[in-house]
Amino acid sequence: MTERTEAYYVWFKNGLAEDWIFDVPEAFRDTLDIKHVYRKDKICSTTENEIFRRVLTRGMPPATSFEPGHIFYDPPGTRAMVWEEALKRLRRSVQVKEVMQEKEIVRVLITYFESGRSARTEERKLRQRELELYLRFGEFI
């Protein structure tokens, strides 16, 4: 069983991953391996009465699971806009096209936008973790 930690460094604010370059909605918690688990409260529990609390945790290392069809936009918030308005703000989108090699590698299509139009596209093969870091920091690390 994978070890899980409560220090998972992904927080959500107003339904989006906070301080990420791309628009990653809270609905992707499972994809990012963030799950609720019950943990025994070591401070409040006694030998007669065990107290459990429900906490958010993340696998260490995280078992991210991006799937074909997942799409993310830069900047955050454009997903909730009317498409014509979103196009005016869009810089990039990332769409997962395929998952390969036992779900470890993803093939993505990155579309770059200029003046409300698709300017160019780029296809890449990335490890799941590399895709997460790209969505978070906006560059390939």
Domain boundaries, the chain: 3-137
CA-to-CA distance for 71 and 57, rounded, in angstroms? 24
Most confident option among 26-30, 40-44, 109-113:
109-113
End-to-end CA distance of the chain: 29
Give the bridge partners for 5, in sequence order.
Answer: 58
Q: pLDDT value at position 54?
A: 82
Of the two residues 141 and 27, the one the predictor is more confident about is: 27
For the segment 68-120, what is each residue's pLDDT rounded down to a tens digit?
Answer: 999 999 999 999 999 999 999 999 999 999 999 888 999 999 999 999 999 99
Tally DSSP H helices, then E strands, for the chain.
2, 9
Token duo for residue 53 = 């609390």
Token duo for residue 35 = 């799950």
Token duo for residue 10 = 């992904």
Which percentage of the chain shows pLDDT scores above 90? 67
Contact 114, 92 (CB under 8 A): no
The predicted model scores a pTM of: 0.85
The pLDDT mean for the chain works out to: 90
Burial of 72 (0-12, 13-18, 19+ CB in 10 A): buried
Q: pLDDT value at position 71?
A: 97
Convert 91-100 to b/e letters by CB count within 10 Å (16 or more is b).
Answer: bbbbbbeebe
Mean pLDDT confidence for 27-52: 82
Q: How far is CA 21 from CA 24, 29, 55, 77, 96, in A?
A: 9, 17, 26, 10, 17
Q: pLDDT value at position 1?
A: 55
